[in-house]
Copies of this chain bind each other. A is one copy, B any other.
Amino acid sequence: MLQKKTKYAIKALLALAKHYGEHRPLKTSEISKNEKIPRKFLEAIMLDLKKIGYVNSQMGARGGYVLIKHPEEVMLSNIIRSTGGPIALLPCVSLNFYEPCKECVSEEVCGLRDVILEVREASIKILSKTSLADILRRENKLLKKHTLH
């Protein structure tokens, strides 16, 4: 499961992506209100996103955050990895959160690891080709579909 932090980060980035190109930065209080994310928690998350390099901030009155990467270039897999936890189901197949499996005699000969590796690859295949822009497009598609009925 993804952490709430990760989910909030994605939602916040999506909010910023919607306003990409505009000059007005978005305040955490706005995002917090619209996306229903606890304000103080969101503040901490935004600082992380800044450190990672996804967003820029403007301090002081009329300040806020803007997305600096192009929405087509911010991939879900990268957001997950850099804000939260691993995508893999076991540490022994995780690239970024790797830990050897103490119980295994040999990782190369572990049948379970072999399957879990396959699952990871299937997940990453999807997550690493999906950008913020893709998600917004999906949202529009779903909205059209939904309002037709």
Contact = CB atoms under 8 A, between A and B. Distances in A.
Contacts of A103: 7, 11, 35-37
Interface stretch (A22-30, A52-60, A108-116): A108-116
A90 B7 contact: yes
A108 B1 contact: no
Contact of A115 (B7, B36, B109, B130): B130
Interface string A70-89: 00000010000000011111
Contacts of A142: 108-111, 114
A136 to B, nearest CB: 6
A138 B115 contact: yes
How many chain copies does the complex carry? 2
A135 B118 CA distance: 12
A31 to B, nearest CB: 11
Interface string A7-27: 100110010000000000000
B76 A115 contact: yes
A87 B86 CA distance: 13
Given A35-B103, A106-B146, A110-B139, 4 more contacts: A1-B88, A108-B142, A115-B130, A122-B125
